[in-house]
Structure 1
């Protein structure tokens, strides 16, 4: 997977989620309003593998980190 400029589609693919535009919008709409005291990776809708991927990507400032931050903002 080319991660030069990863996209939301690629992030959702990596998380094992449906990744078409409508599915991404639906996921965000369904999970919007995430408690501001929770870290994104602690959200109850992630499975352990997804949560670990998010946590590791943020800790390592990986290519995914910026998109994960954007997703975090959209879910708040």
Structure 2
């Protein structure tokens, strides 16, 4: 059976086991950031399972690549 899960930021948060409401996503982004020299998967706030999901999502050039990159961009404050 084909996976028909929508691939967007809120569903990425669901896949990561995080609250996927708009408010929770905004709060997560407001309270977490990553220095420019740290890879998203190496951020200290991920659990091992979340880290693995991010690595696999990027390495496999999977459906999740775009929302993972979107989250990465939003977590890098200027």
Segments ≥4 residues shifted beyond 2 Å: none
**TM-score normalized with structure 1 length:** 0.92
Structure 1: gaps spanning 5 or more residues:
none
Equivalent residue number for residue 13 of structure 1: 14
SS in 1 for 2:19: coil
Equivalent residue number for residue 75 of structure 1: 75
Equivalent residue number for residue 56 of structure 1: 56
The number of residue pairs the alignment matches comes to 74
Equivalent residue number for residue 25 of structure 2: 24
Q: 1:7 deviation in Å?
A: 1.5
**TM-score normalized with structure 2 length:** 0.89
Deviations 1:24-59 (A, max 9, x none): 000000003x11111000000000000000001100
SS in 2 for 1:41: helix
Structure 2: gaps spanning 5 or more residues:
none
Q: 1:2 deviation in Å?
A: 1.9
Distance in 1 (alpha carbons) for counterparts of 2:9 and 2:56: 18
- Pair member with larger Rg: 2
Provide the aligned C-alpha RMSD in A: 1.1
